[in-house]
Amino acid sequence: MLNLDFHPTGRHFLQIPGPSPVPDRILRAMSLPTIDHRGPEFAALGLKLMADMQKIFKTKHPVMIYPSSGTGAWEAALVNTLSPGDHVLMYETGHFAFLWNKLATRLGIKTEVLGLPGVEGWRHGVNADMIEQRLKGDTSHSIKAVCVVHNETSTGVTSDIPAVRRAIDNAKHPALLLVDTISGLASADYRHDEWRVDVTISGSQKGLMLPPGIGFNALSPKAIEASKQATLPKSFWAWDEMLEINKTGYYPSTPNTNLMYGLSEACDMILGQGLDVVFKRHLRWGEGVRSAVNAWGLPIQCADAKVYSPILTGVMTPEGIDADAVRKVIYERFDCSLGTGLGKVKGRMFRIGHLGDCNDLTLIAALSACEMGLKLSGVKLADSGVQAAMDFFSAHPVPPLVRS
């Protein structure tokens, strides 16, 4: 039998930036008996989820719901809109942008990557001017799509998507805009229609507070038009069959029914409080956690205060201190998981997730685990980050929820 006794008492502190902790209310919803996915009850659920997810993405257009990880939803966005050898512009903000590029290349898409060089490039958001200049130079309109990551989960940077939209418009370029907000949705402000994004990609295990296993594509009419000409091979991911059968609330193959019960509950929680309340909560948590990191005297991975992520904070460890060794101490001694440094920044930083089902006290506890683990690893801290976070949260009370 698998040993499930790693965490003998209390809750494990899952402070990685996704999967995020799943609220009991959602776990209970998922424990309902599995229903017939061709029966009438399912159709009602399917139609409700389409309407709810449209509110979460802020779109009037269809949202594809796949039984997949976020990576699957990345692939779906590309294979439905592009053809073999198509030229796309990507912007490397960090490891997730890098992985999306790798996936696109494996599909036979010709990618061109913009970004600032070296590790420094992984400390900033998307530079929309670089995109605008490149598109202005593409007078033959050979570039078919611009792909950017909204919340770069590997670094803790949230890029300005309206600025990317403006860059494409200023260049008068017809390229599609494809945006990954796998870790941004339902935590950071996002507006699919208003920002005129053509495909928004997301997943279940971050801001939506669900276990992994659902991937999303939010579409635009222009993306649907493009999908009629796109010839990359696709079958499971194909939008056309989904679009047709989704009108009745059903899916072409078996959807993950119980995760969808969870998704319905998550939407009730998030929409019941209001997205603006959810966004403000994350902004405040981000500020509280950064006040701790600043008090420790450690650098934050994101070097530009304008694009600090409300979802996670990357903490750089001093020269000579392996961030993964610090994480290991924190995991083994205090039962708290933190995100590892990915790719270029492996061993140089760790990530604290502050998204979804957190609250002030769980964050203060997670920061305590960090502070103890950093000290045990021999890091000299300037001051107590835990004290700084307590002071911040005390001085910034959350306004009471107004229920309509």
Ligand X SMILES: *Cc1c(COP(=O)(O)O)cnc(C)c1O
- Residue ranges in contact with ligand X by CB under 6 A: 18, 69-71, 96, 149, 153, 180, 182-183, 203, 212
Measured in degrees and rounded to the nearest 5, phi and psi for residue 103 equal: -65, -45
The Cα–Cα gap between 269 and 201 comes to: 21
Q: Measured from the CB atom, is 183 or 368 closer to ligand X?
A: 183
Q: Measured from the CB atom, is 18 or 385 closer to ligand X?
A: 18
Q: In whole angstroms, how close is the CB of 92 to ligand X at the nearest point? A: 13
List the structure tokens of 43: 């159709």
The Cα–Cα gap between 163 and 160 comes to: 5
Q: In whole angstroms, how close is the CB of 140 to ligand X at the nearest point? A: 31
DSSP label of 60: S
Q: Are 355 and 185 in contact, with CB atoms under 8 Å apart?
A: no
Q: In whole angstroms, how close is the CB of 215 to ligand X at the nearest point? A: 7
Q: Measured from the CB atom, is 125 or 385 closer to ligand X?
A: 125
Q: Measured from the CB atom, is 127 or 204 closer to ligand X?
A: 204
Q: In whole angstroms, how close is the CB of 201 to ligand X at the nearest point? A: 8
The Cα–Cα gap between 395 and 373 comes to: 26
Q: Measured from the CB atom, is 214 or 388 closer to ligand X?
A: 214
Q: In whole angstroms, how close is the CB of 207 to ligand X at the nearest point? A: 10
Q: Measured from the CB atom, is 188 or 367 closer to ligand X?
A: 188
Q: In whole angstroms, how close is the CB of 153 to ligand X at the nearest point? A: 3
22, 353, 71, 17: which is closest to 214 by C-alpha?
71
- The letter for the amino acid at 165 is R
SS3 label, residue 272: helix
Q: In whole angstroms, how close is the CB of 125 to ligand X at the nearest point? A: 13
Q: In whole angstroms, how close is the CB of 305 to ligand X at the nearest point? A: 21
User: Could you write out the DSSP letters of every residue in 195-224?
Assistant: TT-SEEEEESSSTT---S--EEEEE-HHHH
Q: Measured from the CB atom, is 203 or 286 closer to ligand X?
A: 203
DSSP label of 399: P
Measuring CA to CA, how many Å separate 104 from each of 72, 83, 111, 147, 234?
12, 11, 7, 10, 14
Q: Measured from the CB atom, is 19 or 385 closer to ligand X?
A: 19
Name the residue number minimizing CB distance to ligand X: 70
How are beta strands 157-158 and 110-114 bridged, if at all?
A: unpaired
- The letter for the amino acid at 249 is G
Q: Measured from the CB atom, is 184 or 385 closer to ligand X?
A: 184
**Which strand (E) or helix (H) includes residue 283?**
helix 275-296
Tell me the chain's radius of gyration from C-alpha atoms.
21
Give 20's Cβ-side CA count (13 Å radius): 32
Give residue for tokens 């209001």.
274
Q: In whole angstroms, how close is the CB of 37 to ligand X at the nearest point? A: 22
